[in-house]
Structure 1
């Protein structure tokens, strides 16, 4: 086997992987992964709020994060740092929806803590006005 031939392809593989990551990060909206409890380290997602889909919690786009609670219940804290019109829609098991809206008094910060039942929770960072959008940081912490 020719080791020079093998070594010469490694930089290309790294380059292809690097380009894929740059392409993913450069796309509009947030790319998310589904995480499940227990969550040992905070999960942090950055993106742009809002979207074209009207909901009970303002205007939303694609999900920002999905959290699967695998225990009977889990103490979780969801925190969004965004603009004054930012919203957080949490769609839970059984069709439950929880909406929290930021306001100027909170400085664009939304924080929701509680004990969450087992199931899948889909988080959307939206905007109260369709024309609005702002950069946000969403963090999920298990307490």
Structure 2
């Protein structure tokens, strides 16, 4: 009896560890000039106060975007609360945009993105935790 109870704990522990590992690291999404639009969902905010415009963000990026070749891309975020979009890039540069009262929670960042990996943080100025949709569209 005691032996079977101990073995029932093992699968539960493994499942918990794997679930936490998924939260700790963001999925890498590859984008090329010929890619179709990519839609990503998540929850904004976190406990880490970002000193730039991002408000409160998670300790790790919500998403990691791998731009496979220099590309014209549009990042569009739609979310509830007071969302912010922070993208840190290849050469240490950071782009951060806040939604304002006129945008209805929508943020757009178009531009030319050079090849490399970008960390995307979806924050909230009021430390809220709200659902969002991020689309990345080659243009």
Q: TM-score, normalised by structure 2?
A: 0.74
Alignment correspondent of 2:133: 137
* Residue 94 (1) aligns with residue 98 (2): no
Equivalence for 2:37: 42
User: RMSD in angstroms over aligned alpha carbons?
Assistant: 2.4
Write the deviation string for residues 26-47 of structure 1: whole angstroms up to 9, x where unpaired.
Answer: x879963332324522111111
Shift of 1:83: 2.2
Distance 1:33 1:120, change over 3 A: closer
Unaligned runs of 5+ in 2: 1-14
Deviation at 1:140, TM superposition (A): 0.8
| TM-score under structure 1 length normalisation | 0.72
Gaps of 5+ in 1: 1-19
CA distance in structure 1 between the partners assigned to 2:118 and 2:82 by the alignment: 22
- 1:82–1:108 CA contact under 8 A, matched in 2: yes
Is residue 74 from structure 1 mapped to residue 71 from structure 2 by the alignment?
Answer: yes
CA pair 29-49 structure 1, distance change in 2 beyond 3 A: farther
Contact kept, 8 Å, 2:33 with 2:72, in 1: the verdict is: no
Describe the shift of the 1:138–1:29 C-alpha distance in structure 2 as closer, same or farther (beyond 3 A).
farther
Q: For the Cα contact (< 8 Å) 2:26–2:64, is it kept in 1?
A: no
- Which residue number corresponds to residue 13 of structure 1? none
Matched position secondary structure for 2:102 = helix
1:113 Cα deviation after fit: 0.6
* Paired positions, count: 118
